Homo-oligomer: A and B are copies of this chain.
Amino acid sequence: MLPATGNLFAALPAAGAAEEEFATLLTLPGVRVERIVSRGHSTPGSEWYDQAWDEWVLVFAGEAAILIHGEAEPRRLGRGDWLFLPRHVRHRVTYTAPDTPTVWLAVHAGEDAS
């Protein structure tokens, strides 16, 4: 395998994109590293993410808020903030900055075993 390289800000989706963009940067057995770009997106309606694997997210740029099921207030995340979401901790994204891209790094662990 060669030493692959890239930049987290490369080819950001255009403003006004209807959907969040998910791009896998690296896949290894048991681990997947992903870039997510949001522009004012949030989890639709009253949906909750309920994942069978662990996820670690980091906000590289922008702003976001994640509500964890059972907590009173969303957790606000800015540049450098990270949050570990153990499997089956239900959560939803309640906010991302509307006027600037929020660039996330997500590390998914154990996804392929789920």
Contact = CB atoms under 8 A, between A and B. Distances in A.
Interface of A: 1-10, 25-26, 28-31, 33, 54, 56, 58, 60, 68, 75, 79-86, 89, 91, 105, 107, 109-110
Contact of A31 (B1, B30, B86): B30
Contacts of A80: 7-10, 60
A34 to B, nearest CB: 11
B84 A7 contact: no
Query: Interface SS of chain A: helix, strand, loop or mixed?
Result: strand
B29 A85 contact: no
28 contacts: A1-B84, A2-B86, A3-B83, A3-B85, A5-B81, A5-B84, A6-B81, A6-B82, A7-B80, A7-B81, A8-B81, A9-B79, A9-B80, A25-B56, A25-B82, A26-B56, A28-B54, A29-B110, A30-B31, A30-B109, A31-B31, A31-B107, A31-B109, A33-B56, A60-B60, A60-B80, A105-B105, A107-B107
